[in-house]
Structure 1
Amino acid sequence: MFTERVQSRAAKREATRLRVLSSAERLFREQGFGSSTIRQIATDAEVSTGTVMSVGDKDALLVAIFDTWIAAVHHGREAGHGRDEATPLPPAAAARKVLDLVEPFISYFALDLELSREYAAVIVRGTHESEVFQALAGALLSELESLLARTPLTATGAGAGARTLYFAYLGILMTVGNGALDQRGAISQFQEVIQFVVDREGTQR
């Protein structure tokens, strides 16, 4: 009985957190990050300002919005993980699959450049930690390495290639967030990095 009550309270807290994040995202996108207030978010979510602040200040809410969406993409992929993981991949097919992994995130950042710019600024300030650079980083690195392991790259090459792609991905996301690259340019530049990595099989033997 006690465990059920604890689980019920935890589920209620999570539902409230998601409602706050949903209201915050809608207001941030509709009227801008700078123009939105904690009070407005509380009113929209039908909670107190204290409840909103228990989820986080505006910067923390913004980071959580991005992290929650990115995490959902990763969790969705886990459901289908393992179906073809042993099938060898020629470089061209591997490059396409790597781009398929990363393209949703580039597109998400390009969806609202103003909000992405605010997110990038929060990350650069270092006042709020993002799961994108922690648990979600591990998830993406693992996905990338699993893909590259199916190419002619050696195990060492696959690990190094995954790290190269991951850091290129972070740099491109931040560049898109700063408005220096549009979606098409970002995808084009990441394709160049992918090609550089997957075409190295000839030097890995």
Structure 2
Amino acid sequence: MARGEATRERVLDAAERCFASEGFEAVTIRQIARAAEVTLGVVSFHGGSKEDLFKTVLARRVTTLDNLRKAALAAVRARGDMTIRDVVDAYLTPYLDIASRGDPQWRAYAQLIARVASNDDYFPEVRELYDPTARIFIAELQRLRPGASAEELATVLTLTVASMLSIVASRARIAG
């Protein structure tokens, strides 16, 4: 059982890196199998179709992020006197904390999400995964700025997150 789970993680990690570097359309199951050092059948067994594998890769880190973000927001609420900056920090900081640990898979995830977030073709998958928690934060922002529409606040949050993902996913730009 543990060996099967380790193989599954290796397949998902390889798929995450491949999708992040090449994009969904350019990646083949054969490339993922080669990167994971498994057979094509093992990739299919653990991931299903390429589309299913892609959705699994996108979804597998969302729960971790959602839980950390909600906990950060709860901590801010408990402190009282919440500001817009507090709400935005509660949304961004959990990811930044994880990304700063140097885990190459979280960096690949950042690259993948940056790629996906900039392509409207993936909007349905992204919306399904991220909108439930984002709505909680947007509602909190709207409570702090009742004159702003939910759409305006969603735009601001989306642009802020896109900037963060771009920075985390492309350290080379900044280091250069």
TM-score by length of 2: 0.56
Give the one of 8, 11, 20 matched to 1:20.
11
Count of matched residue positions in the alignment of Structure 1 and Structure 2: 152
SS of 1:36 mapped into structure 2: coil
Q: How far apart are 1:134 and its partner, in Å?
A: 2.5
Displacement of 1:22 in angstroms is: 0.6
Aligned to 2:28: 37
1:69 aligns with 2:58: no
Which aligned pairs between 1:133-148 and structure 2 lie closer than 5 A?
A: 133-134=127-128, 136-148=130-142
- Shift in alpha-carbon separation, 1:23–1:59, aligned structure 2, 3 A: same
When Rg is computed on C-alpha atoms for both structures, the one with the higher figure is 1
Match of 1:97 among 63, 86, 91: 86
> Aligned letter for 1:22?
D
Report the Cα distance in structure 2 between the residues aligned to 1:51 and 1:122, rounded to whole angstroms: 28
Q: What is residue 122 of structure 2 aligned with on the other side? A: 123
Distance between the aligned counterparts of 1:24 and 1:44, measured in 2? 8
Which residue of structure 1 aligns with residue 75 of structure 2?
Answer: 83
Render the CA deviation track for 1:69-118: whole Å, top value 9, x for unaligned.
Answer: 344322222344522315123xxx31x2343325859x989x64897159
Change over 3 Å in CA distance of 1:14–1:146 after alignment to 2: farther
Question: What is the letter of the counterpart of residue 119 of structure 2?
Answer: A
| Structure 1: 5+ residue stretches without partners | 1-7, 177-182, 188-205
Q: Judging changes above 3 Å, is the alpha-carbon distance between structure 1 residues 68 and 162 closer, same or farther for their aligned structure 2 residues?
A: farther
Question: Alignment identity in percent?
Answer: 27
CA distance in 1, matches of 2:13, 2:137: 28
Distance 1:143 1:29, change over 3 A: closer
Q: Distance in 1 between matches of 2:141 and 2:113?
A: 33
Q: Which runs of 5+ in 2 are unaligned?
A: 100-106, 168-176
Report if the CA contact (8 A) 1:148-1:162 is conserved. yes
Q: Is the 8 A contact 2:23 2:115 kept in 1?
A: no
Distance 1:113 1:13, change over 3 A: closer
